[in-house]
Amino acid sequence: MAMTTVAEPVSPGPTAPGAVSPGPRRGFRERVTGGILGRGALSFVIATAGVNLSNFVFHLVMSRYLGPGHYSALGALLNIIAVVAVPIGAAQLAVTQAVVERCSDGRQRSLRRVSAIGLVGGTGAMLVFWALTPLLDAFLHLSSPLPLLLVGVWIPLATLGAVLQGALIGEYRFPLVAAASFLGGGPVRLALGVGLVALGLGVPGAVGATIAAQLFTTVVLLVAARSEIFAAKRRGGGQERYAVHASLRDAALSIAALGGYTALTGIDTFLARHFFSATRAGQYAAGAVAGHIALFLPGALVMIVFPRLVEGAGTSTSSRKALGEALGATVAVGLVAAAGIAVLPGLVVSVLFGASYRAAAGIVGLLALESAVLGTIGLLTYLQIARRSLSALWAWVGVGLAVLVISLDHPSLLAVVAAMLGAVVAVLVLLGIPTLAAVLRASAGEGAVPQQVEVAGEAELELSLVVPFYNPGPRLRAHVTEAVAVLEGAGVSFEILAVSDGSTDGCEEQLAGIFPGVVRTLRLPRNEGKGAALRTGLAIGRGEYLGFIDGDGDIPAGLLSSFVEVARRDRPDVVYGSKRHRDSKVIYPWQRRVYSWGYQSLTRALFSLPVRDTQTGVKLIRRDVVAAVLPRMVEKRFAFDLELLAVARRLGFRNFVELPVVIRERFSSTVSLGSVRDMLLDTAAIFYRLRVLRYYGPPVRRAAPGRLERAAPVRNAPEIGHALGSLSLDGSVMKGEQLA
């Protein structure tokens, strides 16, 4: 019976007969509510989408009731609210960061104390704002200061609400925040706005509805957090549940960063009100509102991912994963929304705003694209705030560019949009560079420690073949059986190490009892990646050549005979299969072909490898090459092949031989958008380690490799089979911590 070796404590096995496996509905629900949408965050996203939709309807109704002239005034006032909300939002972030980090020094303040400070500070800000009302009234050409005075009333209410919301988000109590935000920002504001404007109160009525909605939201949040706010009084001044660290630098950075981002999202509407007539400014404001549909979900995603970014400063494994999920969702949602608006801009404007706003049809598509970029900028800005990096301030550069260009030349609405699009793209690049650098440093440094994985001893066989697999389906047994037959036919002494990368479908049972002494099954306790499985097998292989072939059977084992022949005859450093070989026969869907071509082009540009295809899952590597390379490697996932070849070349090995392959039709695949994202990140991390950190060390002097005499097939050598069956994994190579 084949021996099953456990590398670490075995995880639960396959589902027992008669047990009910998770159904498709449950699996879909678990996928949806996992990751950044866990801990009730999905409810917050849904509620925020509802609030944004309600606000959008609010704008539509107000634009029709008020007309372009008065609606442009309302748009300018709401942009003022957005700018004033910057320090308020910074206070919310400070509370969230403090709750997540659980500060414990002497400069803490309780939630009750911070709420009181926020309310007092908001009241003071209201008085300052009222003092500036005459200047703002003159700049915006308003007929009455009343709307501006009402905006001032909004400030202390919003400040208190932000403190409470920050505390609840820091505790991941998203459902409570979702309920308060949805009810206040949705039905209350819309119903009151329609009622007050219909009564003839005009712009002041619309602003008054906004204030009433904020009051409702703050009261709901106050009720939700009442136990924390009033706990100290009831307990006689005991320890509070929440604590906020008074960091002037953090507060200043948050205020400045959010101020830049907020100004960037509304500076065009603000300038349009100043430079254009009331009607044209109203048309531009309508186009901006329609374009900001692309920002409906990104705002919610930023808030739910921010605590996770704080936990790992944007660079830990979990933090990078959350960032990747949020970034992918933000880009996808933004581009889909922008494309939908750009296809039928005239219809969008006419249906949403009416015929009097038809001039916005020419700019709404570009404004939607601008908003899609702004969504990504918002996420990256919050990431830099979590990292406490001054890179969070780059949005101000975009504001300066927009003001400069628009002030110098604003002949049309389209010219303003073009200036804004150029400004936001510049900011995206400026933010993307430090973000990518930080992620690469973290990814390259993570696990970049001595692995203590060595290929020890002299070769005892001609070939050790590792077959890594993860839930490969029913073809595993046939694939391994074919490999045994091919290698026997080639007349080599060999062993097959089948390594399960934490499979959960019980596929290891397929190999039970086949070819005792030849096929050995190893199992990692959890899914770590193809690279982890390969490292496990290669580290204990006893062959003069150590190779591997994917376990899913897409690459037929019959190819191994040609690989063995070349290895015996030419003694190359590496023999690798390539889909790019002219004699290869590949059955691949077009999406995989595009991905494969793109990745191959990327690796050639970054690494200058004499290899046209690094990722085809069949290779043979000479033992001394593996012995030199494996201890330096850190990759655990699909980029293992690339790192192996890149490090081998770095260490001075140059003799790589390319052979054709046959790729059968793929019935299943572990390649998804997530794995593509991870592989690109891992590839960049390898480049960073290789070219920047010089982690892999200088080239080594190579000794001439030894050569085994041709040996009989291992199945005819009982003593070798006995030695293989008794090989222990208790040595230093296979300790659990080295596989983690």
Residue 362 per-residue DSSP state:
G
Q: What is d(CA 665, CA 555) in angstroms, rounded to the nearest whole number?
A: 9
Question: How many angstroms separate the CA atoms of 92 and 382, rounded?
Answer: 12
CB neighbour class for 355 (10 Å; exposed up to 12, middle 13-18, buried from 19): exposed
pLDDT along the chain (740 residues), means of 10: 37 36 42 55 72 74 75 75 74 75 50 74 81 76 76 82 78 73 72 80 81 83 71 47 56 82 86 85 85 77 79 71 82 86 83 79 88 91 87 92 90 89 93 82 56 70 93 88 93 93 85 87 86 89 93 89 94 92 82 79 86 90 92 84 92 92 64 69 82 76 44 32 30 27
In the numeric block, the tokens 């696990």 are attached to 447
Give the integer Cα–Cα distance in Å for 245 and 46: 31
Contact between 605 and 646 (Cβ < 8 Å): no
SS3 for 574?
A: strand
The answer to whether the CB of 455 falls within 8 A of the CB of 627 is yes
Other beta carbons within 10 angstroms of residue 31's beta carbon come to 10
Contact yes or no for 400/383 (Cβ under 8 A): no
Residues 6 or more apart whose Cβ sits within 8 Å of residue 143: none
Torsion angle of C-alpha atoms 135, 140, 143, 148, degrees rounded to 10? -60
- Running DSSP on this structure, what letter comes out for residue 13? -
Name, in order, each residue with C-beta under 8 angstroms of 295's C-beta and a sequence gap of 6 or more.
52, 265, 334, 371, 374, 375, 378
Predicted local confidence at residue 719, as pLDDT: 32
Backbone angles phi and psi of 102, in degrees to 5: 50, 60
Coarse DSSP helix, strand, coil percentages of the chain, rounded to the nearest 5 percent? 65, 10, 25
- The strand ranges marked E within 155-268 are 243-245
3-state secondary structure of 222: helix
Q: How many CB atoms lie within 10 A of CB 452?
A: 12
Q: Read off the pTM.
A: 0.58
Name the residue among 50, 489, 472, 624 with its Cα closest to residue 296.
50
Residue 29: the pLDDT is 44
The rounded distance, in Å, linking the Cα atoms of 287 and 341 is 11
Q: Which of 475, 481, 466 is nearest to 549 (CA)?
A: 466
First to last CA, the chain: 29
Alpha-carbon distance of 457 to 534, in angstroms, equals 19
Q: How buried is residue 385: exposed, middle or buried, by Cβ count under 10 Å (0-12/13-18/19+)?
A: buried
**Helix or strand run (H / E) with residue 621:** strand 618-622
∠ at Cα 503 (499, 506), nearest 5°? 105
96 neighbors 310 (Cβ within 8 angstroms): yes
Provide the token pair at 22.
Answer: 């998770």
Find out whether 578 and 658 touch, Cβ atoms under 8 Å. yes
Q: Rounded CA gap, 715 and 246, in Å?
A: 72
Where are the extended beta strands (E) located within 481-588? 494-500, 519-523, 543-549, 574-578, 585-586
Tokens at 313, concatenated: 């400063």
Beta-carbon contacts of residue 667 (< 8 Å; ≥ 6 apart): 473
pLDDT for 465 equals: 95
Name the token pair of 254: 């948050």
> Nearest Cα to 317, choosing from 32, 97, 528?
528
**Separation of alpha carbons 165 and 174, rounded Å:** 9
* CA 73 – CA 504 distance, rounded (Å): 61
Asked if 524 and 500 count as a contact pair (C-beta separation under 8 A), the reply is yes
**Largest Cα–Cα distance of the chain, in whole Å?**
100
pLDDT computed for residue 453 by the predictor: 62
